[in-house]
Amino acid sequence: MWVFSENKDWQYLEERFDWVKRMNEVPQDTRYHAEGNVAIHTQMVLNALGNETAFQDLSPQDQEILWAAALLHDVEKYSTTVLEANGSITSNGHARKGAQFTRQLLYVNEPAPFAIREQIVGLVRYHGLPIWLFEKPDPLKALVKAGMEVNTQWLALLARADMLGRICDDQEEMLYRIDCFEAFCQENNCWGEPRGFISGNAKMYYMQHDDAYLDYVPFEEPEAEIVLMSGLPGAGKDTFIKRHYAGCPVISLDAIRVKRGISPTDKTGNGQVIQEAKEQARVYLRKQQSFVWNATNTTSQMRTQLIDLFTTYKVKVNIVYIEVPYQHLHSQNKSRDAIVPAAVLDKLIYKLEVPAIWEAHEVNFYIS
């Protein structure tokens, strides 16, 4: 069983982890957190979580996942907290940055199994969703996407502990919002499991059309399949392609860079590389010919731009994500023809966003 910390004593955690210690330095707006700073709030959240019957009924491993998420849920308030001109204190974006920090921590410093790590990352990323879901432009789509990344039952449990672990005037209203979130999940078959779709094509149609409803099934099925590789430099994408897609056309950004003599850190040159690669892709797309797009594609924004281009031609997109342990990543990177500087690689790790299953028709993970 993966255990984040055998000793859950707060003083021990402060002594072991600098990021736990610095929670003491982060003030919070007294209107919503009259209990005090982030460290005080986090301890109260952990206590509230432990007192929940639903938490006590979980397996030890599942309890560990939720406990780690509760510990980390506000970790990036340290970098995002701002004292506004009107005297209020805000921490906009702390959940997104907290998810990035959590993934880096559990990949580099405190390695966790992939599935466990990504569940903790998702809980940190979406810990405020049960409170704010119904203020989203499309609450149902926001829920369906989140439900494909995180266990919504656990998310509601974390949100409840987060609300009980504070002193504020609107606690009762916020707890009611969480009750509404739970009911909405259950009504839409998103409670504790991803919302199912009859096919990958039906899923993508729903994700890409604002007016689509959940159970719509498109008549036409794609013929060509585009394999969109995703993974950090040195993860083994080239080897995977040779093993599984021999004979299939490959558009490789690294190959274009080498051909043009362009460095991976040359922003202007890389823009030209991407444009050349897209032109090659359009040639295949017009002919409805399958191919592999080989690049890192480590953020959702990178992948979305390409997927939007590909699906314009009504093709199927299959994301293949490759990951190796941190130590292997650096050693394999050093053996590549186009070596990425170690500092650049570590920056990419921090920005990494593992593909979510809602992003493409099919998403496959190969973790070693």
> 215-235 burial by CB neighbour count: b if 16+ within 10 A, else e?
eeebeeebebbbbbbbbbbbb
Task: Give the mean pLDDT of the chain.
Answer: 95
For the chain, residues classed under CATH 1.10.3210 are: 10-187
**Looking at domain 10-187, which of 3.40.1710, 1.10.3470, 1.10.3210, 2.70.70 is its CATH number?**
1.10.3210
Inform me whether the pLDDT recorded for 338 exceeds 90.
no
Inform me whether the pLDDT recorded for 356 exceeds 90.
yes
Contact predicate 203/209, CB 8 Å: no
Q: According to CATH, what is the number of the domain 225-367?
A: 3.40.50.300
Could you tell me the pLDDT band of residue 309, with boundaries at 50, 70 and 90? Answer: very high
* Better-scored residue on pLDDT, 188 or 262: 188
**pLDDT score of 282:** 97
Inform me whether the pLDDT recorded for 52 exceeds 80.
yes
**pLDDT score of 27:** 96
Q: Give CA separation, 111 vs 3, 57, 210, 283, 321, in Å.
A: 10, 26, 39, 42, 18
Of 2-6, 83-87, 184-188, 256-260, the one with minimum mean pLDDT is 256-260
Average pLDDT for residues 321-333, to the nearest whole number?
Answer: 92
Q: Give CA separation, 264 vs 123, 154, 212, 332, in Å.
A: 33, 40, 40, 17
Average pLDDT for residues 88-104, to the nearest whole number?
Answer: 97
Inform me whether the pLDDT recorded for 301 exceeds 90.
yes
Could you tell me the pLDDT band of residue 335, with boundaries at 50, 70 and 90? Answer: confident
Inform me whether the pLDDT recorded for 368 exceeds 80.
yes
Instruction: Write down the pTM of the prediction.
Output: 0.95
Beta carbons within 8 Å of 140's beta carbon, 6+ residues apart:
184, 188, 214
The length of the chain in residues reads 368
Inform me whether the pLDDT recorded for 150 exceeds 90.
yes
Contact predicate 78/94, CB 8 Å: no
For the chain, residues classed under CATH 3.40.50.300 are: 225-367
Could you tell me the pLDDT band of residue 269, with boundaries at 50, 70 and 90? Answer: confident
Of 140-149, 185-194, 209-218, 303-312, the one with minimum mean pLDDT is 209-218
Average pLDDT for residues 292-319, to the nearest whole number?
Answer: 96
Please give the DSSP secondary-structure letter assigned to residue 191.
S
**pLDDT score of 51:** 98
pLDDT tens-place string over residues 199-236: 999 999 999 999 899 999 998 889 899 999 999 999 99
**pLDDT score of 229:** 98
Inform me whether the pLDDT recorded for 174 exceeds 80.
yes
